[in-house]
Homo-oligomer: A and B are copies of this chain.
Amino acid sequence: MARTITKRPDVIDAALSLFMRKGIKATTTRDIALRAGISEGTIYRHFDSKEELAASVFDENLDYFWRYLRGYLKHARTPEEMLHAYVQGFFEFSRIEQRRYSFIIAAHQTELKRQSRERMKPRQMLSKILRLGQRQGVFRKMDIQLGSAMMMGTLMQTIFYLKSGRIAVNYDDVIGEVTGTCLKMVTLDK
C-alpha cells in the first residue's frame, strides 16, 4: 500500500481539542491548522466548511459518549437497573470527560445548526429504556418523549448546577438523589 497519509484525522483531533476548550465560534480555522500542523487550505480539502467540521467533531463526540453509556448499561438487566446505570453513566461522563461533555452540550444547544445525523443516540437510549419499562409494566404510561425530556432536563440541569458550584451536597448523594427522582418520575403511582 502506498503512503496514503491523510491529514483528515489530524484536523479532527485538533478541532476537537480546540472546540472543547474554547467553543466552536471562538476557535478559528487558523487555530486548527496551527495545532494540526497543517495549512488552513487543507481543512477545506476535507470539509466544506468550518460548520461541517464542527458537526463531524460533534458526531464523533456523541458517539464516544454513547459508547461510554453503553458500557455502563452492559450489565443492567431490568429497566430500573438500566435507568440507574444511565443516570450514573451520565454523571460519570460529565465528571471524567468534562470538556467532551461541555462541548456536546454547548454544541447541541447553541453552536450547531443542523441536528446530528445520528439523532442524538444517548437520548434515544433513554427513550428505549422508558419504552422497555412501559412494556414490561414497571413504568407508568406516559409520553415517551415527554418522559425523556423531563429526565434529561433533570440530569443536565443538575450537572450544570453542580459544575457551577451551587450544590453543596456530596457528589454520590446527588447521584443517588437524582436516580431516585428519575425513578419516581416514571414508576407507577401506588
Contact residues in B for A111 (Cβ distance below 8 Å) = 110
Tell me which of B146, B157, B167, B184 contacts A185 (CB under 8 A): B184
A contact residues, total (Cβ < 8 Å): 37
A109 within 8 A of B: yes
Complexed CA–CA distance, A190 and B8 (Å): 58
- The number of times this chain is found in the oligomer is 4
Contact residues in B for A190 (Cβ distance below 8 Å) = 190
Q: How far is the CB of A85 from chain B (nearest CB, A)?
A: 19
User: Which residues of chain A from 127 to 159 have any CB-CB distance to chain B below 8 Å in the complex?
Assistant: 142-143, 145-146, 148-150, 152-158
Q: How far is the CB of A96 from chain B (nearest CB, A)?
A: 20
The reply to whether A160 and B168 form a contact with Cβ atoms under 8 Å apart is no
